[in-house]
Structure 1
Amino acid sequence: MELMVMRQLDEGYTYQVDNIDKNAWHNLLGKFNDSSFYQTWSYGAISWEKESLSHLILRKNDEIISIAQLRTAKLPLMPIGFAYLSWGPIWRKKGGKNDYEILRNMLRALYSEYVKKRLYLLRIIPKQIHDNEDAIIGVYKDEGFSWLPDPQKTIYVDLTPSLDEIRKNMGSGWKKTLRRSMNIDMDLIEDDEASLNDTAISLVREMKKRKGFADFGSMENNLIINNDLPNELKMKLVFCKFENELVAVFGWSKIGETGIPLVSATGNNASKSLAPHRFYWKMIEYYKNNGFRKCDLGGINKKNNPGGYQFKAGVAGATRIEKNYIGQFDLCENYFSSFCFKTGMSFRQHCRSLLAKVNRMKSYR
């Protein structure tokens, strides 16, 4: 494999790696617009184990201007490993401008540490969409990364219009059901300190048992992570109390400027409450009132989950943004790291595909 000659960091830029603790990392997340729940220390440590985490901090003239949390793995006694960065790097500081030179130097720092020094395969999946994607993809390619389009499509709610306009733009059927839900006697109970976390987990398990789905437990995992986060980073949890019983829960991230729903579960007695419509509208109100620019409603698939697609399309309405995430970026100079990582990822994807087929078969019963 031909080795690539990479540029050095520009003058004034330096980086540090694995020289920060959990509390300091969480404090840093609050300084960036593109921070997310998935870049919290708690998410990484609980999802992947603390020992596999690596944290890189980029400075310019001693000011922290970009950060990234990665998952790493290495084969024992061999120079073979990988570094995986999702929902990052984080490089858009609050009050600053979108400076591509910050991104460029962050990519150089990541290359220097994980590709050149550790001989890993480096994979970055930002899980974002941008108005200027061609320019950003160009920065990655200039720095030697290969690019593949992300097959996952998502729907964004545009939060720049007024709340009245956002509601007016919603799908007609969705608005009609929302109006009906407003007339149902239910209470929405907010929980900002995760005091009802165990109740939320019970509702998630109840829904999974009722629907018979086998999955990776991401909602349960998110609630466990939520317990470990400081209050300012905890998700916003809202419960529906219907006929004197907590019958549904909904939770969304409060981090960054792009909203993300993280938990949505209904118990066995929730069907008459129409709680999901009330939940989503309350989330949109929260994001609009707190200065968020858009809300990522998560993956969509018209063919395999037409009901989920119609619901999300109704929420986002006429001004919705349907788009694939920006893509996947790889860089490696070690053939053995590349081969081992890609073989493992292929096997993992095969297992996920089988699980998805099982879920679809169960839904047809």
Structure 2
Amino acid sequence: MNAPRSFTLPCGLTADVDTVDKAGWHDLLDRFADANIYQAWAYESVRRSERDTSRIVVRRAGEAVAAAQVKIVKVPFVKLGVAYVRWGPMWRLRGRDADPTVLSAALEAIRHEYSVRRGLTVRMLPYFLTDERDTFHPLLRAGRFDRLGVETPQRTLLMSLEYSLPELRARFDQKWRNCLNRAEKNDLVVEEGTGVDLFERFIGIHAQMHARKGFVPGSDIREFRAIQRELPERHKMRVFLASTRGALAAGAVGSRIGDHGVYLPCATSDAGMPTNASYLLQWRALAWLKDGGATSYNLHGINPITNPGTYRFKAGLGGRSGRELHYLGTYQSSGPASSQALVGLAESLRRAWRHRRANAGRAHAGTSQ
């Protein structure tokens, strides 16, 4: 792990690297409207370990105005590797107008520290959507970050929460609202909270659903359980469970850090299929988000081709309050040519591994029918 250090940036700003402890980082997240679960301390420390994580803070006159958590992946015994930033940097201060000069300074700080100084290739998936492209793509290019042309940007549905709950309900698609109405008549028992015990119960129906659908999940729900243990109470994910006649029918997990909510793993058990329990849980999640002051709900990933059922569910939930968008994509600031070659090899191996997992999931589904 690199020793803490500071350096000066243009416009009178400074950057601090690895100077903030866990409690200080939690406090920093509270400052940013664009804070999110992927920038939480526990997200990388649980998944990668502290040794492989770095954090950088940009300050103006001592005040933190931008920050990013960085995952470091290095080749043993050589100074080559990749620095990954997911949904960062955070730079939109709560209660203030967004300042693009702060974003530019944050990009410069990240590039200087991890690409120039450490010789790493920096890969960044910023939390920017296609409706913001004209504003932020030029800033990223000016900061010497080029968009990767080999990937297809992920799609999502962004749901505005500017409306009251009754107004949101009226803006659901009619079929979605009908399913919610039926769920409310099914005598479902709903529990919600932040306890790890709720995660434990959710894991079972999550595994059951993926076995039924025959695909391998993109994220490990057990990692989310471990992350939950480490998050401060105010940043913990919310788990929603619905039961019918004493058996779990459905579960949903959501995150609310910063000014937006994020749709995380959800599942319906075999017993819950006829109950429409997932509709009721999302209704309860919306109430929780609204109560906490969230202004939007990112339904977090859609693909009408590979997962049409989930797409229809999310599209109906978004209704007239949702917009279908793409993320801008991954941007890269290249280190030495050797690091770039390493990145290319790693990406090839990762694609092969994902393909193998997907095939294994389909094979398992075929033998279990």
What TM-score do you get using the length of structure 1 for normalisation?
0.91
Alignment of 1:10 onto 2:24: no
| Pairing of 1:248-263 with structure 2 (within 5 A) | 248-263=250-265
Deviations 1:31-89 (A, max 9, x none): 11111111111110111222110111111111011110011122234331211101111
The amino acid that maps onto 2:290 is K
SS of 1:11's equivalent? helix
Paired residue secondary structure (2:70)? strand
Aligned-residue offset at 1:236:
1.1
Distance 2:93 2:301 in 1: 26
Q: How far did 1:119 drift? A: 0.7
Match of 1:56 in 2: 56
2:21 equivalent to 1:21? yes
Distance in 1 (alpha carbons) for counterparts of 2:57 and 2:277: 42
The structural deviation recorded for 1:233 is 0.8
Contact preservation (8 Å) 1:127, 1:327? no
Please give the alpha-carbon distance, in whole angstroms, between the structure 2 residues aligned to 1:322 and 1:193. 33
Range with greater deviation from structure 2 (320-329 or 145-154)? 145-154
> Measured at CA, do residues 280 and 363 of structure 1 come closer, stay the same or move farther in structure 2, by a change above 3 Å?
farther
Distance 1:96 1:309 in 2: 34
Between the aligned partners of 2:283 and 2:128, the Cα distance in structure 1 is 23
Alpha-carbon distance between aligned partners in 2 of 1:235 and 1:174, rounded to the nearest angstrom: 25
Q: Kindly provide the CA deviation profile for residues 86-121 of structure 1, in whole angstroms up to 9, marking residues without a partner as x.
A: 111111111121100000000111111111110110
> Is residue 120 of structure 2 the alignment partner of residue 120 of structure 1?
yes
Give the corresponding residue for 2:105: 105
Query: Structure 1 residues 22 and 58, CA, compared in 2 at 3 Å: closer, same or farther?
Result: same
State the match for 2:4 in structure 1. none
In structure 2, how many angstroms separate the alpha carbons of the residues matched to 1:278 and 1:314? 13
Q: Distance in 1 between matches of 2:41 and 2:292?
A: 24
Check the 8 A contact 1:155/1:316 in 2, yes or no. yes
Alpha-carbon spacing, 1:362–1:160, altered in 2? closer, same or farther (3 Å): farther
Greater mean alpha carbon deviation, residues 49-58 or residues 163-172: 163-172
Distance (Å, rounded) in 1 between the aligned partners of 2:265 and 2:308: 20
Q: Equivalent residues in 2 for 1:139-218 (5 A)?
A: 139-148=139-148, 150-218=152-220
Q: Deviations over 1:113-143 (max 9, x none)?
A: 1111101101101143264321111111111
Kindly indicate whether the alpha-carbon contact (under 8 Å) linking 2:128 and 2:136 is maintained by their aligned counterparts in 1: no
Quote the RMSD (CA, aligned, Å): 2.1
Counterpart position of 1:136: 136
Q: Alpha carbons of 1:152 and 1:217: their partners in 2 closer, same or farther (altered >3 Å)?
A: closer
- Provide the rounded CA distance (Å) in 2 between the counterparts of 1:362 and 1:99: 50
State which drifts further: 92-101 or 244-253: 244-253
**For 1:184, what is the secondary structure of its paired residue?**
coil
**Aligned partner letter, 2:97:** K
Query: Residues 357, 323 of structure 1: CA spacing in aligned structure 2 closer, same or farther, 3 A cutoff?
Result: farther
Per-residue CA distance 1:270-314 (angstroms, 9 max, x = gap): 223211000111112222232212111121111111111111111
Instruction: Give the paired residue count.
Output: 358
Aligned partner letter, 2:83? A
Residues 66 and 132 (structure 1), Cα distance of their counterparts in 2 relative to 1, 3 Å cut:
same
Give the AA of the match of 1:25.
Answer: W
**Structure 1 pair 209–357 and aligned structure 2 pair: CA distance change class (3 A):** closer
Paired residues of 1:31 and 1:93 also in contact (CA < 8 A): yes
Provide the identity percentage.
30
AA aligned opposite 1:123? R
Matched residues in 2 for 1:50 and 1:208: separation? 31
Match of 1:319 in 2: 321
User: What is the CA–CA distance in structure 2 between the aligned matches of 1:196 and 1:152, rounded to whole Å?
Assistant: 30
Q: Give the letter aligned to residue 136 of structure 1.
A: F
Q: Find out whether 1:280 has 2:271 as its counterpart.
A: no
Deviates more, 1:51-60 or 1:194-203: 194-203
Q: How far does residue 187 in structure 1 lie from its aligned partner after superposition?
A: 1.4
Q: Secondary structure at the match of 1:66?
A: strand
Q: After alignment, is 46-55 or 240-249 more displaced? A: 240-249
Matched residues in 1 for 2:119 and 2:339: separation? 7
Which AA in structure 1 matches 2:143? Answer: E
Cα distance between partner residues in 2 of 1:197 and 1:319: 29
Partners of 2:154 and 2:299 in 1: how far apart? 12
Q: Is the 8 A contact 1:215 1:355 kept in 2?
A: no
The secondary structure found in structure 1 opposite 2:299 is strand
The answer for the alignment partner of 1:92 in structure 2 is 92
Verify the 8 A CA contact 2:256 2:294 in the aligned structure 1. Answer: no
Q: What residue is the counterpart of 1:42 in the other structure?
A: 42
Partner residue in 2 for 1:82: 82
C-alpha deviations, 1:203-251, integer Å up to 9, x for none? 3233334444333542232122112211111111111122123333211
In structure 2, runs of 5+ residues without a counterpart are 1-7
Cα deviation, residue 200, structure 1: 2.2
Using the TM superposition, give the Cα deviation of residue 175 of structure 1 relative to its aligned residue in structure 2, in angstroms.
1.0
